[in-house]
Amino acid sequence: MDFHHTIRPVLFVVQLFGQFPLQGILKSDPLRWHFRWCSVQTVLFVLLEHVGLFLCYIEYDRLMVIGVNADNLIGPLFYLDVMIIMGLLLKVAYQWPSMASKFQQVEALETMQYDAQRHGRQGARKIRTVALLLTFAGFAEHMLSIGKTMYAKVDEARVCNWNYSNFPEYYALRTYESFFIRVPYNFPTLIVLEYANTALTMAWTVQDVLIIIISDAIVGYFERINERIQLYCSVQVVAKEKFWCDIRSHYVTVRELLEQVMAIVSPLLVVSCGTNLYLICYQLFHIVEEQKYIVHTIFAYFSLLCVITRAFLTMNYCSAVHEVARKPVGMCRRIPSQSWCSELQRFHDHIRKNYIVISAMGLFNITRRTMLTMLGAVITYELVMLHFAKTTENQGVVKECSKTQFSYEPKMESTLAAQSL
């Protein structure tokens, strides 16, 4: 049952996008996984941060010229959000060595060694599949977004009777004009810019994947303890006080791991919940609107499916920690009275008096009920977004075939006129 061995392939894929700059992930000893400022991973990460800051300024400057509406506000918000996420990922990577030693301490417990090979193999296969599918879905979503933008630019050239001999140059100057009026165009720069945008977009997925794999590991530790307790919930077997003393000690060790990990990761969880909430509202807003191209409709539905799936899995894995940590309370109640002892009583009281749950910086706890609360928040903020769209529908509007560049496909004057008719 090796947490670091399980997540190694996931972190390798994540680092292809310049995220989570932790060095030595291919080494078998997790204590040799460390953060270094002078490393290829960190240098790439810092460069992406600077590109993101530059693009955030460009988007802000563009909106100051054309005006803000509910649609194009996503431009600067996107870059600002991923800058915050990447800063928090950098913090987690910097503090990872302290977490690694605690994970190893938990995995060395006697309770975790019972049938560890079978449990480790099954658990590793499941969480790797979930994490890699989410990562590739996030990448596919961004590729579909690029395809959508290319299709829109080609159709724009056809409608406006614009001729171009070099499509990459035309695409770059129409999609990133605000960038290329500051930096001379060349094809390698376009490739670097597209890679940077892809890597920055993947920060949304990486934060959720990291929270999911950590939550799943802690759930697995509590489940192993519960399996040991289940053996003594019948009259056939009577546990000695030493057994319950060890169980309580192991339970406390896992709880301490949870507290230490969440002290580092909980800011990322707060941003994850806020980001997913906004993205769900934003994609619902686009589904409510009539799309100009069928590829835009496909992208809107696929993107909404991705973000809902990601948000649901993140909340589900986090809330499972509370469910599985509280399970021993009910199990202890089924133990016959003749098997009761003072150490069992102490273990039972410890669980009952301590509220074991993943907390988002103390602002809210992640339980099953939180998922329903988030659903209510989506409905509320979607109404707010629709109202904001109504009050700003005449802002950020461009004449059709305008030479002005728009990264996020604004409404044209002709489109608004057609809707008013």
For 122-158, what is each residue's pLDDT tens digit? 778 889 999 999 999 999 999 999 998 888 888 888 8
219, 321 contact by CB (below 8 A): yes
Amino acid 46: pLDDT: 92
Lowest mean pLDDT among 67-81, 133-147, 175-189: 67-81
C-alpha distances in Å from residue 1, one per residue of 104, 122, 129, 246? 10, 10, 17, 19
Q: How far is CA 216 from the centre of its chain?
A: 14
107-121, 366-380, 387-401: segment of lowest average pLDDT? 387-401
Burial classification of residue 158, based on how many CB atoms lie within 10 Å of its CB (0-12 exposed, 13-18 middle, 19 or more buried): exposed
365: pLDDT strictly greater than 70: yes
Tell me the average pLDDT of the chain.
83
Looking at residues 284-313, what average pLDDT do you find?
Answer: 84
Q: What are phi and psi of 358, to 5 degrees?
A: -80, 125
Q: Give the pLDDT score at 406.
A: 47
Q: How far is CA 388 from the centre of its chain?
A: 27
pLDDT of 319 reads: 92
The per-residue pLDDT for range 372-383, each reduced to its tens digit, is 788 777 877 777
pLDDT of residue 1: 54
The mean per-residue pLDDT over the stretch 110-125 comes to 71
Q: Predicted confidence band at 84 (pLDDT cuts at 50, 70, 90)?
A: very high
Of the listed ranges 199-203, 344-348, 385-389, the one predicted with least confidence: 385-389
CA distance 377 to 270: 15
Position 216 scores a pLDDT of 93
Kindly state the percentage of the chain with pLDDT values over 90.
33
Query: At residue 419, does pLDDT exceed 60?
Result: no
Query: pLDDT confidence of 4, banded at 50, 70, 90?
Result: confident
pLDDT in tens, 18-37: 899 988 888 888 888 889 89
Pairwise pLDDT comparison (2 vs 133), residue with the higher score = 133
